[in-house]
Amino acid sequence: MSDMSKSTPQSPMGQRIIQRMEELGLNAKQLSLSAGLNETYVRDLLKAETPNPRLNHLKALAEKLGVTVEWLDTGEQSAEIVRIWDRIPDRDAKRHAREYLENLAKDKDRA
């Protein structure tokens, strides 16, 4: 666990940001700079010194973390599924993915 997460009580969003930073091997300064923000932006956000972050800042952070703003905000995975779906390259690949998911749903219903 990072030093930031040990020393500072975190909001749910802060906890999610820390989780992704740890998964990606980033610290707060690296994330801030890679997102084109002030080098202390993420640190300040995690310390709740930035209580109402701007949407464009959250979008930049989400992109660098490989998640959606909705996931940062709510922790909901449905937005992640949509983001993944949008990255499937063509109709055939989407058709195969849809068939796979339908088969999974059928198998779950049978269980």
Q: What's the whole-number average pLDDT of the chain?
A: 82
pLDDT digits (tens, 9 = 90+) for 13-27: 999 999 999 999 999
Task: Enter the pTM of the model.
Answer: 0.63
DSSP 8-class letter at 40? T
Task: Inform me whether the pLDDT recorded for 8 exceeds 60.
Answer: no
The whole-number pLDDT of residue 1 equals 45
User: Higher confidence at residue 29 or residue 104?
Assistant: 29
φ/ψ region of 75 (left if φ > 0, alpha if ψ in -120 to 50, else beta) reads left
Report in angstroms the alpha-carbon separations of 4 from 26, 81, 96, 105.
12, 29, 42, 40
> For residues 43 and 105, what is the distance between their CA atoms, to the nearest angstrom?
42
> For residues 107 and 111, what is the distance between their CA atoms, to the nearest angstrom?
6
pLDDT band for position 85 (50/70/90)? confident
User: Domains in the chain and their CATH numbers?
Assistant: 1-74 (1.10.260.40), 77-111 (no CATH)
